[in-house]
Amino acid sequence: MHHIFFSFVVALCFGTRWAVAALTSGEIANSLNELAQQGFAAKELVLEINSTADAGPIPHIYTEIDTMVAVVLTDVKFMVNTPIITDQAEEQDVYEGYSNFIQSLLELMDALSGSAAQLKSINQTTKNRVPSEIRILQSAVDAYFYNIIGLFPANSSYNAQANNQKAQVDTHCFQAVWAFDLGYSNGNQATYQARSKSYVHSRWMKRGSL
């Protein structure tokens, strides 16, 4: 079902003929902070399941992730015409929202990594489903972060800092996937990393390509 959901969202981004409007910096900052709240909520849910060993709420993890993916892809669609931010106060607002969302993703991935053994023991389908959800989320936020970083002037300190934080998310996502399949060979690790990089460079998700 989650593959159908993701395919629908991608098709929506490709196939629609909407009149694309630019998001304001305030709207972007608000969306980032709302996404961060969802990320932290998903983390707390994972930790609760790990603590109680109750498999019942596991589908809610997927719902939280799928919702974040949908919001992120919608924002990417509407950021195409957003100009580079030149006002310092607006830069700071967007960067703070960006950092907040980044932190929520790092904590979510750490929670998934630390809970992998428990999740697999109470529901064996998580062994494949959770890594799949992580990859979908990672590919979406890669595009999202690419667009947001592009809003900061190239000589801005926020640009460099945001790039460094984006790299941390990539690392934590890989570690979370790895935690759910410790049987990966080195070759499979390389395959996953190469696939992740290909997501980052997908043309449909890059700023200005829609």
Query: Which tens digits make up the pLDDT trace of 13-26?
Result: 444 333 446 899 99
Query: Which tens digits make up the pLDDT trace of 87-100?
Result: 999 999 999 999 99
Query: Which tens digits make up the pLDDT trace of 5-56?
Result: 444 444 444 443 334 468 999 999 999 999 999 999 999 999 999 999 999 9
pLDDT band of 127, cuts 50, 70, 90:
very high
Kindly state the average pLDDT of the residues 49-76: 97
Task: Say yes or no to pLDDT of 109 above 70.
Answer: yes
Cβ-defined contacts of 125-133 (< 8 Å, 24+)? 126/58, 126/180, 127/180, 127/181, 128/180, 129/2, 129/62, 130/61, 130/176, 130/180, 131/176, 131/177, 131/180, 131/181, 132/2, 132/3, 133/2, 133/61, 133/62, 133/65, 133/66
Query: What angle (nearest 5°) sits at the alpha carbon of residue 176, between those of residues 36 and 68?
Result: 30
Average pLDDT of the chain to the nearest whole number? 84
